[in-house]
Structure 1
Amino acid sequence: MPKIKSHSGAKKRFTATGRGKLTRMKAYKGHLNAHKSPRRKRSHAGKGLVARGDLRLIRKMLPHLVGK
C-alpha cells in the first residue's frame, strides 16, 4: 500500500487554525497596484478563511493537516 501524499502546492498555500478552519492568503495584491485605492489594497492584504464549499477538496489534498 503506497503512502498517502499531500499536494505540494496546497501545502504551501493553506494553513490550519487551532479550531480546524483553513486560512489562505488573499488574491489581487501582487502587482498592478498603482491605480488601486489604499482601501482596496488593504482589503486584499493579509489572510482570509477558505470558503466552506472548497473545504472538502482542500482537505482531500492535505490528508495530514492538523485540526481536522
Structure 2
Amino acid sequence: MFSHFLTTVRLCASQTPWGPRPFSTTSVLEAGYKMKSHKGAKKRWRSAPGLNSFKRGQAFRSHLNASKSPARLNRLGNTAYSTPAQTHKLRKVLLPYGSG
C-alpha cells in the first residue's frame, strides 16, 4: 500500500532532487558534521569596511556609572576595533568556511 514511500533514490553527494548544489559540500560530508559560527562572537562583533578588522562596543558602560569618572565614561563610549591577532581568530570563528 505504501511501497512507493519506501523506495529511495541514491543521489551523488553534489546532487539534490532539484539539481546540483551551488557550492561544494565534500569536506562537510567527509567530516560528518557541519562547523558552526560562534553565536556569542556573532552578536558582539561586526565587520569593519573591507573585512580588514572587526568592531564592537565597549563593555562596562551600561550601568553603575555614578562611580566612574566622566573621562572613563567617554572612553567606554568609543568603538573598539580588533587587533590583527583577534581579526585572524574572528575570521575563523565567524566564517568557518571562508568568506566566499
Normalization by structure 2: what TM-score?
0.55
Deviation string 1:10-62 (CA, Å, 9 cap, x unpaired) is 11011112221200111221322101121210110142101222222211111
Q: CA deviation at 1:4?
A: 3.4
- Letter matched to residue 94 of structure 2: L
Aligned residues: 67
- Letter matched to residue 28 of structure 1: F
Q: Could you list the runs of 5+ residues in structure 1 that have no partner in the other structure?
A: none
How do 1:1-68 and structure 2 match up within 5 A? 1=29, 2-20=33-51, 21-63=53-95
Query: Which of 1 and 2 has greater Rg?
Result: 2
**Percent of aligned pairs with the same amino acid:** 33
Bigger fraction of residues in helix:
2
Q: What stretches of structure 1 move > 3 A for 4+ residues in a row?
A: none
Q: Separation in 2 of the partners of 1:49 and 1:26?
A: 10
* Greater RCO, CA 8 A, separation 6+: 1
Q: Could you list the runs of 5+ residues in structure 2 that have no partner in the other structure?
A: 1-28
Q: CA RMSD in A?
A: 2.3
